[in-house]
A and B are shown apart, each in its own frame.
Chain A
Amino acid sequence: MAGAEAHIVDCGANNLASVVNAFRAAGAKPRIVKTPEEVRAADRLVLPGVGSAAHAAAHLKSTGIGEALTDRVRRQGHPMLAICVGMQVLLERLREHGDTAGLGWIPGEVVPLRELLAKSTRVPHMGWTTVSPTPSLANVLGKVRGAPTYFFCHSFTVATPRRDAIAATIDLGAEIVAALRFDTVFGTQFHPERSHMNGQRLIEAFLDWSP
């Protein structure tokens, strides 16, 4: 939706500039939110993130932003796009370097890709990979033309027993979750903000999404 506001959450270590630029290019009015109060006033939320999920989760908890997101998205049903580490923090358990608790919005854990992939497959998974969407993703990816190919850059992945929440997968020799969708949450392991026109169309679709 052109001119739609999108509230992009600053959760410490992230690539805010890329996300802001990408939302602007998609016709939205991006606003950066840094406090629980701003989160509680936001309509359409974006939780980006790069780096360490444990680090991001700690920031969300210590600032109260995590609790505000839970109120706004889980209790009040506002839509949220969670990108990469922003999606990973939503799981129950983050098995990165040590073992920490995530926000627990969905059962499952974040695990090293190295545990799941053949020795000959290089990690991080780095580059452009075509995702296989499940039917539940169809309305979110509806605007994407051609093959749904996106940029990935990650060493960890989410694993969830909620098969119904898996919106897209990729084949790296093992099946890896590329996107999650549950209730009013849409999460991507890939980076729509760096995925050229396919990414822009996905952002446009998120701006139009009324879950």
Chain B
Amino acid sequence: MPFKRVIASLLLRKDRLVKGTHFATYRDAGDPKATVRMLAAQGIDEIVLADIDAARDRRLPDIEGISAVATDCNVPLTIGGGIVSTDIAAACLERGADKIMVTSGAIDRPALVDELARRFGSQAVVVGIDVVEGDGTTFLYDHRSAARHPGMTWQHWTTEVVARGAGEIRICAVSREGTRTGLDLALHDSAAGAVDVPVVIEGGAGVLSHLDAAFAHGVEALAIGTMVTFSDNNIFKIKEYLASRGHAVRRMGKA
């Protein structure tokens, strides 16, 4: 069986990494090439790099910037942000992406998921699903308008994109993003129970015990942003800790 995955979620804005809270108030988080090289050397399992302004500004992702990062990356790389056609996805894959993540582009035009899966295979297609809490329940969130989606539940959307060919779901608890309050395990369970493709949970991981709790709960893959950009935790330490807690994680020089 595969090891449990720890994925770094990095946000690209122009040629710098940034990190925010609730998808806003972004702070500088370093040089992308150096960060990717360091994370790979420390044993990160995968890297997701999202061009956060591309979708909002309705422009193409920064292909040159992605290419520069990919050259130095010898672990799997997923690219997201502004991917609205299979041709743009092809440009990203040719420049070094292994997987494509679509979020708002798929909401605008659900057939994009079918097209990507047909051309590149389901294994290369990740659909990002952003969920926000409110009124005691959860809603599908659109980061461009910073508002709930008016007509569709996130649960319906999750099963629909998998039926259309998505090979992986990255579900993000926007209400927790950047807050260090812990991953939303109930949200994970609803998503993981609804589909039979891999599910990555993101949003809220702030301390090591949050990762331990998630893996102990049955999570197979999680993404961390704040913990890799603004803290003393390096990936090597995180993996050693998780292994000491009895979780099957890949460690440098060991497995």
Contacts and interface: CB of A to CB of B under 8 A. Distances in A.
A153 B254 contact: no
B121 A129 contact: no
Chain A interface size band reads 35 or more
A153 B67 CA distance: 21
A64 interface: no
B220 A50 contact: no
Nearest to B70: A17
B21 interface: no
Nearest to A130: B255
Given A21-B96, A123-B196, A194-B98, A128 B3 contact: yes
A52 B97 CA distance: 17
B255 A146 contact: yes
A155 B121 contact: yes
Given A128-B45, A194-B76, A149 B250 contact: yes
A211 interface: no
Interface in A1-59: 13, 15-18, 21-22, 25, 50-52
Interface in B188-211: 196-199
A111 to B, nearest CB: 15
Contacts of A138: none
A154 B123 contact: yes
Given A16-B94, A124-B197, A194-B98, A21 B121 contact: no
Interface residues of B, number: 41
Contacts of B254: 146-147
Contact of A126 (B70, B120, B123, B255): B123
Contacts of A149: 3, 250, 255
Interface in A106-152: 119, 122-130, 145-147, 149, 151-152
Given A155-B121, A199-B74, A126 B198 contact: yes
B59 interface: no
Contacts of B168: 124, 126
Contacts of B99: 153
Contacts of A197: 74, 252
B71 A21 contact: yes
Nearest to A119: B196
Interface string A149-170: 1011111000000000000000
Given A51-B119, A124-B197, A151-B75, A129 B3 contact: yes
A149 B168 CA distance: 21
Contacts of A130: 3, 255
Contacts of A153: 76, 98-99, 123-124
Contact of B121 (A22, A52, A125, A196): A52
Contacts of A146: 253-255
B5 A128 contact: yes
A155 B122 contact: yes
Interface string B212-249: 00000000110000000000000000000000000000
Contact of A122 (B3, B40, B93, B220): B220
A127 B119 CA distance: 22
Contact of A17 (B40, B74, B75, B95): B95
Contact of B2 (A21, A25, A126): A126
B186 interface: no
A171 B2 CA distance: 9
A191 interface: yes
A-B CB proximity, top 3 nearest: A127-B2, A51-B121, A147-B255
Interface of B: 1-3, 5, 40, 43, 45, 67, 70-71, 74-77, 90, 93-99, 119-124, 167-168, 196-199, 220-221, 250, 252-255
26 contacts: A13-B90, A15-B97, A15-B98, A18-B70, A21-B70, A21-B96, A50-B98, A50-B123, A122-B199, A124-B123, A124-B168, A126-B168, A126-B198, A127-B3, A127-B221, A145-B253, A151-B75, A152-B2, A154-B123, A155-B121, A191-B76, A194-B74, A194-B76, A194-B98, A196-B40, A197-B252
Given A18-B96, A126-B5, A194-B76, 19 more contacts: A13-B90, A15-B98, A51-B124, A52-B121, A123-B197, A124-B197, A126-B2, A126-B167, A127-B3, A128-B3, A128-B250, A129-B3, A130-B255, A145-B253, A147-B254, A155-B121, A155-B122, A197-B74, A197-B252
